[in-house]
């Protein structure tokens, strides 16, 4: 299972990369705005600090505009994956881009049928926003389980990125559901690498170690 960090803040990416568990980065217009830097400048820098896939989102609302943006973004680096929203124009754009070999992340996804459509048109990734489904009273992870079954039934290669992850249990459930990737904030990734019981256990071992005769 791959771990992506959901941020456009380069310092967070560098820190998570140093832990040895980071496989890629996802951004979106909100994350770029939070970083407070020009879009292309920050995306280029992210591609320099990490080897894995870096998702950058197209903001056009028509297929032609999305394809144009995607071609430009894909020239930045071989790492670039272009996020395309799953509106009707987005589906059309993904079809064109997949034929050109440009990697896509079908985004703002909420249903297994959207995942089926994304796979049919050749999306590299599909991103179900499970935390946002939980927020409105649906069990987001059920969608991930259904997508896994659909992709298995038909041998689709599209990878599932469990997105809008809110806590470590979402990561656990994503792994149990067989998701390919979970993308999470720096804070959630930090929670995964720090376990208070391990800290307490280590403290006791080191205290006892002091008692060993020298």
Provide the binding-site residues for ligand E4P, judged by CB under 6 A.
Answer: 6, 26, 28, 30, 107, 127, 129, 131-132, 163-164, 183
Which of 1, 2, 25 lies closest to 13, judged by CA? Answer: 25
CA 77 to chain centre: 18
CB of 6 to ligand E4P, least distance (A): 5
User: 59: which 2 tokens?
Assistant: 């903001």
**Cα–Cα distance measured from residue 13 to residue 24, given in angstroms and rounded to the nearest whole number:** 9
Cα distances (angstroms) measured from residue 3 to each of 17, 22, 154, 172: 11, 6, 25, 12
CB of 132 to ligand E4P, least distance (A): 5
SS3 43: helix
User: Does residue 120 have an active-site annotation?
Assistant: no
User: 109: which 2 tokens?
Assistant: 């996804």
Q: One of 68, 78, 83, 152 is an active-site residue; which one?
A: 83
- Nearer Cβ to ligand E4P, position 112 or 140? 140
- Nearer Cβ to ligand E4P, position 182 or 201? 182
| CA 174-178-179 angle, 5° bins | 60
- Nearer Cβ to ligand E4P, position 60 or 185? 185
CB of 209 to ligand E4P, least distance (A): 42
- Nearer Cβ to ligand E4P, position 47 or 164? 164
Residues 6+ apart with CB under 8 A from 129: 108, 109, 110, 140, 163, 164
- Nearer Cβ to ligand E4P, position 31 or 102? 31
CB of 184 to ligand E4P, least distance (A): 8
Straight-line distance from the first to the last Cα atom of the chain, in angstroms, rounded to the nearest whole number = 45
One-character DSSP codes across 173-197 = HHHHTT-SEEEE-HHHHHHHH--HH
> Which are the catalytic amino acids?
83
């Amino acid at each position: 299972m791959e771990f992506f960090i959901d941020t456009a803040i380069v310092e967070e990416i560098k820190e998570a990369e140093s832990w040895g568990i980071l496989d890629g980065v996802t951004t979106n217009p909100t994350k770029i705005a939070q970083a407070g830097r020009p879009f292309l400048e920050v995306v280029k820098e992210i591609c320099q600090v990490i080897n894995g896939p870096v998702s950058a989102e197209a903001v056009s609302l028509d297929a032609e505009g999305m394809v144009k943006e995607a071609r430009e973004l894909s020239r930045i680096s071989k790492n670039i994956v272009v996020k395309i929203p799953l509106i009707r124009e987005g589906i059309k754009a993904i079809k064109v881009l997949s034929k050109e070999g440009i990697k896509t992340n079908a985004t703002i996804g909420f249903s297994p049928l959207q995942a089926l459509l994304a796979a049919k048109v050749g999306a590299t990734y599909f991103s179900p926003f499970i935390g946002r489904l939980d927020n409105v009273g649906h069990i987001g992870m059920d969608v991930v389980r259904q997508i896994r079954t659909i992709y298995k039934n038909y041998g689709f290669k599209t990878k599932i990125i469990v997105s809008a992850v809110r806590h470590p249990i979402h990561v656990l459930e994503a792994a149990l559901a067989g998701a390919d990737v979970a993308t999470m904030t720096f804070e959630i990734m930090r929670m995964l690498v720090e376990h208070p019981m391990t800290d307490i256990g280590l403290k006791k071992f080191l205290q006892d170690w002091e008692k060993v005769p020298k």
